[in-house]
Structure formats: C-alpha cells, structure tokens
Structure 1
Amino acid sequence: MKTHFKTIVVSDIHLGTKGSKAKEITRFFKEFSCENLILNGDIIDGWQLKKRGAWKRKHTRFFNRIFKMMERNETKVYYLRGNHDDFLDQILPMAVGNLRVQKDMIYKSFGKKYFITHGDVFDSITTNFRWIAYLGDVGYTFLLWLNGVVNQYRVKKGLPYFSLSQYVKSKVKSAVSYIDEYETELAKVAKAKNCDGIICGHIHKPENRMINGIHYLNSGDWVETMSALAEDHEGNWQLIYFAETKLESSPAKTVKMTGPAVLKEVSFSSREDLDGPTLRIS
C-alpha cells in the first residue's frame, strides 16, 4: 500500500549521467505518492549530456512514472530550474496541464512563507566562475565512479549502501566550510524575502533544521544520498532516505522528522499566480 503525502520535494537527480539513481527514484515513486511534487532543479543534467552523458530507457521511465502520478493521482508537478538544467531558461515560465516549469516559487500558508529554489544562484562558484564549476564537475564525476566501484564490492559482501563521496566531502575542511556558508547565506536570503524558511537542493546534502530562526530544508540528491523531503497531511516535514526504506522487501517507513507545518492547500487562482514565482494558498 502506498504512503501518500501532501507534498514531496526532490532535486539533483542528474538524469543523463551514469551516477544518476534513476531506477531507485522511479521505484520510490511507485511506493510514495503525493498531491504536490516539486522537482527542485538538476533533474536533467544538460552539462553531461552535452559532453559524455547518455540518455537511457531508465531515465525515460522516471518521467513516465511522473506522468502516471499526474494522471492517476492528479499530482501537481512544479519543475524548478537548476544550474545543470539551465536549458529551461529558454521556456520559462511554462504551464501544461498539471505541470508548471518556473525558476523558483514562494509558498504562502497560514501566515508562513517558504522560498523554494534550487540554490545555485546563491553559489558564487557556479554563478561567477562557470569554468571552475565545470572543472569541479569532472573531479566529482570521478568520485561518483569510485563510489560505484566501492558499493559494488559492498553489495557482494552483503553490506548496505555507503556514500563514499559524501564521506570524503565531510572530511575535507574546505568542503565543510563551503556547505556551512552556503546554508547560512540561504537562510539570510529567506529572511531578506520575509520568509519563514527556505527549501533548496544543489549541494547534495539533505538537511532539516533551524538556522538563526529560519527553517532550512535541503532535499539532498539522487546521486549520492538518495533522499527526499516530504510533508504529511498534518504539516510536518521529514527527510526520507531510500536506503532506509527497504522497498525491495517491506513497506516503506519514514526515518527522520522535524520542523513546523508548511503547506495545506495549493492552487493557482489567477493568471498572475502562474506568471509570478509565488504559489498562493486558497
């Protein structure tokens, strides 16, 4: 039996790359359904597809699953642009049925506001020094390849999934400092926009915590951590990790939950709501 949420947020799937866990997230959405699905950037990796990436059947199956959710569950899907799928700039904003493609959005609900953005525009490396970002992308791709080799060995030994790339980043002081600064700056952005919190992705580090009075939520990724943010029908946000759901053998169980209520009812009431970044609550 499926677990049904009010809202699910996923980001950084990087479809078109070898490291993308397309099969896993497709299985995830066979188990979990929702009224509102936010694809928060880097869903398709245009950077890799231009170079050495390849689009495979499993990547298409992911979108087939999303379309089925839209058809069967009447799920409203919001695809927000990331830096790796910046090709979306050519069509923003766009609306087709229950699908909206836009840059970012603001949720308003019961006196609270959450700014939702991929987060790359607040990253000086990807914004101002694109060539450095590409160079880092090469090293990161190698680290993900090594991550795959390590986990193939672990599977043979009957060991659980282990994110080597996340472990390496947690041990490198410069990476830890960068992540801390990134999270703090995004919290400042939310406060500057008079929002109570922010929901982002980009750095592949799932999080659900308070930063200086701002509710900071990061959905993680589907390359390393295989994580998602979900809001239940009581307004509680939680992080779900695919590796801990054990979808292969038993019903999924959520594993981590903190944070205040965010969304209750989402709808567009006018053309103005569609053209702008704000998602109004009725």
Structure 2
Amino acid sequence: MNTSFKTIVISDVHLGTKGAKAKEIAHFLKQYRCENLILNGDIIDGWQLKKSGSWKRKHTRFFNRVLKMIENHNTNVYYLRGNHDDFLDQILPLQIGRLHIQTDMIYESAGKKYFITHGDVFDSITSNLRWIAYLGDIGYTFLLWLNRIVNYYRYKAGLPYFSLSQYVKGKVKQAVSYIDDYEEELAKMAKSKGCDGIICGHIHKAENRMIDGIHYLNSGDWVETMSALAEDHDGNWQLIYYYEIDFKSQLKPEPKEDSPWGEIREVAFENRKEDLDSPSYRF
C-alpha cells in the first residue's frame, strides 16, 4: 500500500515517561511521508518530568525525525497543546517556518471541516468527572508499571500482549461511562462549531466512527495502543496500528535516479475498527 498520505495525526506520546514508545514512533514516522503532521497533545509529559520522569536520547530522536520530515519532505507540522504539555501555554501561539504550535485548529479537506483538539477541554465541560484526570496521572502510571510485570510473564509463557489498563477501562462502570460521555460531548462540540467531524486524543482509545452524523476520530496513544490516524489524498481516514505493520518484509530499495525521494516503500496494515476561537487551515 502507498505510504504517502495527506495528513497523519498522532497524540499522547508522553515523552519523558517510562511508558513512552519513542523508538517505535520514530520508526513509524520513518516509514511514511505526509503533507501535514498533526501532533495532537501530550507529546511531552510535563507532569511526569516535574516529578519522576526523565528525558532520554531516544525522546530527542523523535523530534529529530519530525524536523527531518519538515526539511526533507516539506511537511507542515502542527503541535497542539494537551493537558500534560500545558507548559506550552507560555508561548502559544507560535510559528517557526512550517512548525506551528497552538491550542487547537480547524482542518478543512475534501469538502469537509474537522475541529482538532487534544480533548482535555471535555474535563472542564464536565467538572464532576475531573477525577478521571487524576486517575489517569496516578492510577494509569501504576497500571502501566504493573502491566510490564504481567506481560513479562505472559511473554515467557508464549502468550500475546495484554493491556491491563484497557481491561480496567472496560470493566469499571465509571470509566466506561466517562468514555461514552466524552465521545458524545466532543461530537456535540464539533456540531456546534459547524464541523463535519472532530479529531482528538486524550483518553488513549483509538476510534473511527460516526456519532449522530459527526465523524468522530481518536488517534489513540503511543504508550500501549501505538496507533495513528491517516488521511489519504481522497479525504478517507483510517487507523494505523504499529503492531500491524510488517516491517520485516520491507527491504530498503535503491533510490531511483529520476526521483528526488527514491522509491516509496510499502507496508502492510489493515483497519480496525466550549467554545474556543480557532484558526482555520485549508489544505
């Protein structure tokens, strides 16, 4: 399949934490080319860096990869603020060449308009559910630690990866209710802004579906799911999962003399299943 997309959206990388898959996401971005790369919040985890987190060389390599996309492929990069990288408030909005740092944005493509936001705005809309933010910061960190132990023994036993946090989210009634309310409220927000869809992250649950006529898209995360949203040049969106990409079958081809980028590689993957003033971008 073609590895050239119009737009790729990723979120919730949480660089600076032990759970961040910095090496994997840099590898992922190396496989693709896109006109627009949208980093939809929580790319850097400022909360954890203030406490027990640490910045490593592999975290820097992620940004080196993004800069190479700008330099080599003229990719437009939009870094949107999340709740864990709220330190960006001190410099917003900021534009340096093809790099844009801002709160949110409206994206227009193929005759449709999407409101793009990290999604933590929902926590302020439903203040009675703000406990989930603290659960996400404290309880989720604990679950990730416990998950590494569980999956170590599962690996030894020849068993597949198991997401303890996703299991808990699916079993705890309050968490299920929160996710349902979250998706529905953001769909309402998109409709109130006159948009056809909404693109978000925040809850670490990748999704691509319709809610009351609104196209709801969630890019997931790069702590467990390792997923991204990709839009082809016809305006079609799909979820791409890192674990489903067949990297081993990819042999690096010799660059063609008549192409400045060389031959585009192929990867195998399949689909899986308020009011803020925002600048408008048309691509």
* Alignment TM-score, normalising by the size of structure 1: 0.87
8 Å CA contact 2:22, 2:59 repeated in 1:
yes
Q: 1:248 to 1:53 in 2, by over 3 A?
A: farther
| 2:144 paired with 1:144 | yes
1:90 aligns with 2:90: yes
- Mapped contact 1:79–1:100 kept (Cα < 8 A): yes
Residue 52 of structure 1 pairs with residue 52 of structure 2: yes
Give the deviation of 1:125 after TM superposition.
Answer: 8.7
Task: Provide the rounded CA distance (Å) in 2 between the counterparts of 1:2 and 1:67.
Answer: 22
Aligned-partner Cα distance in 2 for 1:112–1:134? 35
Q: Which amino acid aligns with 1:281?
A: R
| Aligned-residue identity in percent | 74
Taking structure 1 as reference, are residues 257 and 167 closer, same or farther at Cα in structure 2, changes over 3 Å only? closer
Deviation at 1:109, TM superposition (A): 3.2
Equivalent pair of 1:12/1:221 in contact (CA under 8 Å): yes
Mapping 1:1-282, distance limit 5 Å: 3-124=3-124, 133-134=133-134, 136-250=136-250, 252-256=267-271, 277-281=278-282
Counterpart CA distance in 1 for 2:129 and 2:107 is 31
Q: C-alpha separation between the residues in 2 aligned to 1:257 and 1:136?
A: 24
| TM-score of the two chains, using structure 2 as the length reference | 0.87
Query: 1:134 and 1:125, CA in 2 relative to 1: closer, same or farther beyond 3 A?
Result: farther
Following TM superposition, by how much is the alpha carbon of 1:139 offset from its aligned partner in structure 2, in angstroms?
Answer: 1.1
Task: Kindly state the Cα deviation for residue 129 of structure 1 after the two structures are TM-superposed.
Answer: 7.9
| 8 Å CA contact 2:11, 2:202 repeated in 1 | yes
Letter in 1 for 2:218: N
Change (3 A) 1:112 1:230: same
Q: 1:133 to 1:244 in 2, by over 3 A?
A: same
**Correspondence for 2:253:** none
- Letter aligned with residue 154 of structure 2: R
What SS does structure 1 have at the residue aligned with 2:208? Answer: strand
Q: Which amino acid aligns with 2:117?
A: T
Alignment-mate amino acid for residue 139 of structure 1: G
Q: Secondary structure at the match of 1:36?
A: strand
| 1:14-42 CA-partner distances (Å, limit 9, x unpaired) | 00000111111111011122110000000
Letter in 2 for 1:179: I
The answer as to whether partners of 2:105 and 2:115 remain within 8 angstroms in 1 is: yes
Whichever residue aligns with residue 182 of structure 2, its letter is Y
CA contact (8 A) 2:17 2:53 kept: yes
Local SS of the residue matching 1:202: coil
CA shift, 1:53, in A, is 0.3
What code does the residue aligned with 2:143 have?
A: L
- Residues of 2 paired with 1:248 and 1:102: CA distance? 37
Does the CA-based 8 Å contact 1:121-1:127 persist in structure 2?
Answer: no
Query: C-alpha distance in 2, partners of 1:229/1:142?
Result: 27
Deviation at 1:126, TM superposition (A): 9.2
Give ranges in structure 1 of 5+ residues lacking alignment: 259-275
CA–CA distance in structure 2, aligned partners of residues 136 and 6 of structure 1 = 32
Describe the shift of the 1:8–1:248 C-alpha distance in structure 2 as closer, same or farther (beyond 3 A).
same
CA contact (8 A) 2:110 2:234 kept: no
SS of the residue aligned with 2:282? coil
Displacement after TM superposition at 1:108 (Å): 2.3
Cα-Cα RMSD: 2.3
SS in 2 for 1:78: strand
Classify the secondary structure of the residue corresponding to 2:166.
helix
CA 1:178/1:128 → structure 2, altered by over 3 Å: closer, same or farther? Answer: closer
8 Å Cα contact 1:102/1:277 also seen in 2: no
Whole-angstrom CA distance in 2 between matches of 1:88 and 1:126? 23
| C-alpha distance in 1 between matches for 2:169 and 2:229 | 22
* Structure 1 contact 26–61 (Cα < 8 Å) conserved: yes
